[in-house]
Amino acid sequence: MQKSTYESPLNTRYASKEMQALFSPDTRFRTWRLLWIALAEAEMELGLPITQEQIEELKEHQNDINYEYAEMMEKEVRHDVMAHVHAYGAQCPKAKGIIHLGATSCFVTDNADIIIYSKALKLIRTKVLNVIRKLSDFAYKYRDLPTLGYTHFQPAQLVTVGKRACLWIQDLLFDLEELDFVLEHLYLLGNKGTTGTQASFLKLFDGDHEKVKKLEQLIAEKVGFKRVIPVSGQTYTRKQDSRILNVLSAIAQSAYKFSNDLRLLQHLKEIEEPFEKNQIGSSAMAYKRNPMRSERISSLARYVIVNALNAPITASTQWLERTLDDSANRRISIPEAFLAVDAILNIYINIADGMVVYPKMIEKRVMEELPFMATENILMEAVKKGGDRQSLHERIRVHSMAAADRVKKEGLNNDLIERIAQDSAFGLDINELKDVLNPRNFIGRSVEQVEEFLKDCVKPVLDANPVEEIHVSLNV
């Protein structure tokens, strides 16, 4: 179907329906009504002239929002919160006079934002745990498969496939720690009033400070929060938004690192992301298997990392008790960061569910490089048989240079081991040299590190956080 207006790809292509629903206008306005009900209930419980009948009327219409009326009112009053106050009042004639009593707009906007962000962070948390669990299974399965390690993308000492996967998991564990801190320290705005002094509520309760304090506590409890920000201007400090976008950026960074690693490994034909039966890698080159999932993670992660600058800039430029230059930016930057990270984790889950490992290709590349790495071990074995260390060192150097030239200049295989076997100065036959070249002799504590890490660091987290397993099928 032809569409003539812009639609965010985060909605149409990438983010989950669950995350889209959390940031929908419907969720936002229902949450406003939840807060108005909590405010009215708490004010009634503390002695203001509000009746249970009025509360029940508000509850009856919490979720059937009269959007057409609200839109009509917003065109008239040019204020979204007041438009919805009028719309709610039109549905609740008995409670009309007590809706939003004593509150300013930020009572519903800021508190609703924190409630929604909390739910969104919990959804992100569930998906991070799913990735960790899937990568943990992968790491354990391949804990002892030797593979060429790289520094500067140049061949280095051997690791194992499982050991490398533990690097990806560890980054996510750090992110999970940060995510839990942010969740635990999310503060509602509470009912602070126009400049944060609670003056309107103090007036409502005839100067009773304890009732004003109790009102804030009751509202928080009714919407499921333990923390209310102690002091504020009209809004909660936008430093909270910085914390939220920073942790979303951190998750994006971890996923980015993984996706880059996988793109390199797919180029080496060692590990590939899933590839569907009818998937097309290139419109021109039919043989191609492009790492499109990993590339999409990289692309979206870059967006999140850059977008995370919005919150600190906004937080640092707020004027005194309130300025409105945060509003339009926050409406875009925060929801889209959540939607993008949700999309990133969906793809990460999908890849972690179906990574394809090619052990023979991994072994081939290991054996191409291992002779060079094994020269010190070969030298020691030859010395044990009575050879002169300094003389043998020079002979290995010469053989290594010749073998390297053969590989680089002539495109032939690495014949260093054959050269050494044919050199009587070493006193080692080809079978003895092959024993030295067993890749498992060069992986250090990789296997033990994987097992210890999964047992001591990962399993306790997964055991303490049982979550429903998620499988993601990507449509595009």
| Per-residue pLDDT in tens (0 to 9) along the chain, 476 residues | 567 888 899 988 999 999 999 999 999 999 999 999 999 999 999 999 999 999 999 999 999 999 999 999 999 999 999 999 999 999 999 999 999 999 999 999 999 999 999 999 999 999 999 999 999 999 999 999 999 999 999 988 999 999 999 999 999 999 999 999 999 999 999 999 999 999 999 999 999 999 999 999 999 999 999 999 999 999 999 999 999 999 999 999 999 999 999 999 999 999 999 876 545 454 444 445 789 999 999 999 999 999 999 999 999 999 999 998 899 999 999 999 999 999 999 999 999 999 999 999 999 999 988 888 888 888 888 888 888 889 888 988 898 888 888 888 888 888 888 888 888 888 888 888 888 889 999 999 999 999 999 999 999 999 999 988 888 877 65
Q: State which amino acid sits at residue 18.
A: E
Query: How many CB atoms within 10 Å of residue 445?
Result: 10
Instruction: Say whether 209 is catalytic.
Output: no
CA-CA distance, 193 to 106, in Å (whole number)? Answer: 8
Which among 282, 299, 327, 391 is annotated as catalytic? 282
| Closest CA relative to residue 356, chosen from 269, 471, 267 | 269
Residue range 16-41, pLDDT digits in tens: 999 999 999 999 999 999 999 999 99
Q: What domains lie within the chain, and their CATH numbers? A: 17-98 (1.10.275.10), 105-278+287-362 (1.20.200.10), 375-436 (1.10.40.30)
Confidence (pTM): 0.91
Q: What is the DSSP letter of 270?
A: S
- To the nearest 10 degrees (0 to 180), the angle between helices 25-45 and 80-91 is 70
If residue 85 lies in a helix (H) or strand (E), which one and from where to where?
A: helix 80-91
Which among 4, 152, 283, 424 is annotated as catalytic? 152
Query: How many CB atoms within 10 Å of residue 229?
Result: 19
Instruction: Say whether 282 is catalytic.
Output: yes
Query: How many CB atoms within 10 Å of residue 424?
Result: 7
Query: Which residues, in sequence order, are CB contacts of 164 under 8 Å at separation 6+?
Result: 147, 149, 261
| Closest CA relative to residue 426, chosen from 390, 468, 392, 463 | 392
